Amino acid sequence: MRRIQCALLAAVAGIGFASITRAADMPVKAPLTPVAAPAPVNSWTGFYIGANIGGGWMNAPTYTFADPGNAANTSCGPCKNAYSSPALSGSSASGWLGGIHLGYNWQFAPMWLTGVEGDFTWTHIDQSVNGPLNSLPIVPSVPGSNLNFETDARWLASFRGRVGFVQNNWLIYATGGVAWADLHFAANASCLPPAVAGGCGFGGGFTQSPFSQSTTTFGFVVGGGLEWQMPASQWRARLEYLYYGFDRTDSRSSLFVAIPAGGPLVCINTPTCSANYTFGNVNLQTLRLGLSYAFR
């Protein structure tokens, strides 16, 4: 019995020694090296809000004046003809602008993006032109007279679609939609007392026909821009160009009044003398820098 127990112990010891020997002969594995996580994909999808500043340019609208009531008969001594209907056009005007924008992007493919954006921009772009009154054929240029027109853009707003091409942190896009503008129109035809015969005068004073009105005008806007998304950040910077078109003609009239006598002038052709003013199409161009914050 004792011999059997000794044999079993010897066998177990041999097996254990053999296992230890094989383990010692096995190759040792190198320690695991941490694998860097892949860089996050730069997504443009989501809402964003921002502000912008820049400058704008207004075209030179064409302005016209008419004297349907023959005001020259009353305000000018020898002038029996109505004032002629001159057309004036000044040079383009420029001014500052600043505003806010809000939008949403959808990056529907690795390199393509679409979205919508609305913006509101405060501005002051004032265009004006001056010229003399004419009363042909008696007085080609009425001495002491002045004809003035003014158009002032006070704010702009738009709602636009956007479509763009994405390349890493850069986006180049085209945009277009509907636009609104607050435009202030003003005009005046005036005539000072004459220094020489043949000039304008009424009751020892002068005559004028002032007009002033603000209106909200509807139109279109198109443009494009370049936008950069800062790496590992929710901030974006942009440079954007927009063209606003308000293709409409506004006609207004205003009474000629005598200063200092007061009251409207009485004309031959109509019960009262009035000036008719026509304001041509207004088109603006803007270039602005913007900074946006993306929610994602």
What was the pLDDT predicted at 296?
Answer: 76
Please give the angle made by the CA atoms of 197, 201 and 203, to the nearest 5 degrees.
125
Q: In this structure, is residue 254 part of a structural domain?
A: yes
pLDDT tens over the chain, length 296 residues: 445 444 434 443 444 444 444 544 545 454 555 544 443 457 899 999 999 999 999 987 889 888 887 776 666 544 566 777 778 887 788 999 999 999 999 998 889 999 999 999 999 999 889 888 877 665 567 667 788 999 999 999 999 999 999 998 999 999 999 999 999 999 998 876 554 444 455 545 677 888 999 999 999 999 999 999 998 889 999 999 999 999 877 888 888 877 766 667 767 666 777 888 998 889 999 999 999 999 97
Pick the closest to residue 190 from 209, 213, 204, 212 (CA basis): 209
Q: In this structure, is residue 14 part of a structural domain?
A: no
Q: In this structure, is residue 161 part of a structural domain?
A: yes
What was the pLDDT predicted at 220?
Answer: 97
What was the pLDDT predicted at 184?
Answer: 92
What was the pLDDT predicted at 80?
Answer: 62
Instruction: Quote the number of domains for the chain.
Output: 1
Q: In this structure, is residue 34 part of a structural domain?
A: no
Sign of CA dihedral 79, 85, 89, 95: positive
Q: In this structure, is residue 3 part of a structural domain?
A: no
What was the pLDDT predicted at 234?
Answer: 92
Q: In this structure, is residue 29 part of a structural domain?
A: no
Pairwise CA distance, residues 151 & 148, whole Å: 11
Helix/strand/coil percentages in the chain, nearest 5: 10, 60, 30
Q: In this structure, is residue 8 part of a structural domain?
A: no
Residue range(s) defining the domain that contains residue 215: 44-295
What was the pLDDT predicted at 222?
Answer: 98
The residues, ordered by sequence, that sit 6+ positions from 54 with a Cβ below 8 Å of its Cβ are: 96, 97, 98, 286, 287, 288, 289
What was the pLDDT predicted at 34?
Answer: 52
Q: What is the DSSP string of 263-277?
A: SBPP-SSSSS-EEEE
Pairwise CA distance, residues 235 & 292, whole Å: 6
User: What is the CATH number for 268?
Assistant: 2.40.160.20
What was the pLDDT predicted at 58?
Answer: 92
Q: In this structure, is residue 142 part of a structural domain?
A: yes
